[in-house]
Amino acid sequence: MVSITAVSANRKMTRTLFRASGAVNRLRGAFSHIDTSGAPFDTLQFVLMDGPAGYAHLEGTRGGDRLFQVHIGADHLPCGPGQERAFVAGLAGAIHGALDELPVSESTIRDMRAAMERVNTEPDAPPNGGPAESLGNSGVGGGPPSVS
C-alpha cells in the first residue's frame, strides 16, 4: 500500500494536493499490484516536505510499525489554482527520483517505475485498475488523498 501526504508550511501546496486528489489517488493506486512481501514495510508513505528538488530522506519505520516514510522535498512543485496538472507531474517525478533509495529489490523498483509510467492521471480518468492503465500527464480530481 502507498500513501501520499504533505507536511508543509506551504498552504498552497497542501491545497493543490487536495485539489489534485483524484490524480494523486490514481498515482498511489498504480503500485497496488506490486508484490512487496519481502519489504520491511506494509505501507510506503511519501511525505511532501518543505525542501529542495531532489531531496529524499528515508525516515523508515519506528519500533514495530510497518509504515515506512520517505520524505521528499517539494519546494519546486508548482502550486496554486490551475496548477494541478503540473503539480502531479512534478510529484510523480519526485517520487520517481526517490525510488532508488527504497530498501527493496531492483526488480521491485523497476516494477514501480513501470507502474508509474502506465498510470493515467488525466482529469476525469476512470479509477486505476492496476498495471494496464494508460500513460497520462497528470490532472485534477475530487476529494482528499487517502492517508493509509
pLDDT at 94 > cutoff 70: yes
Please, what is the average pLDDT of the chain? 80
**Residue 90 banded pLDDT, cuts 50, 70, 90:** very high
Sign of the torsion angle spanned by Cα atoms 134, 135, 141, 145: positive
pTM score: 0.77
pLDDT at 71 > cutoff 90: yes
Q: Count the domains in the chain.
A: 1
**How large a percentage of the chain has pLDDT more than 90?**
42
CA distance 99 to 83: 24
First-to-last C-alpha distance (Å) of the chain: 8
Which domain covers residue 86, as residue numbers?
Answer: 2-118
In a domain, 144, yes or no: no
In a domain, 37, yes or no: yes
In a domain, 67, yes or no: yes
pLDDT tens digit sequence for 28-55: 888 888 887 778 888 899 999 999 999 9
**Residue 128 banded pLDDT, cuts 50, 70, 90:** very low
Q: How many CB atoms lie within 10 A of CB 118?
A: 16
